[in-house]
Amino acid sequence: MLNEEMKLSCASGEFIHQIGNLLADDRIKICGLTEHDGKLLQELGHALRLKHYSSAGDFEALLTAGIDISTMSRTEIVNIADSIINRAG
């Protein structure tokens, strides 16, 4: 059974990832956000859904953008997603 923090992380990750899917697949437009922002959100959401995450392999867009999640807490990852979403203008 997952503890409450992991359940919240999974739910948050699912939500962030879905917003990323919609942006990356060009199914929604959010003023000021790009398909690339969608890819970043996908990877941030994916990381939050994992029990253990590192920067290897699955996070190419994040690494290219200079975002190394390997030393970040789940809260810091959510904060990065929040800052991307809040760029919408």
Is residue 45 a contact partner of residue 38, using CB atoms and an 8 Å limit?
no
pTM of the model: 0.92
Mean pLDDT of 38-65: 90
Q: Where are the domains of the chain?
A: 4-85
Rounded CA gap, 83 and 33, in Å?
Answer: 11
pLDDT at 1 over 50: no
Query: Tell me: the pLDDT tens digits for 18-35?
Result: 999 999 998 999 999 999
Is residue 77 a contact partner of residue 15, using CB atoms and an 8 Å limit?
no
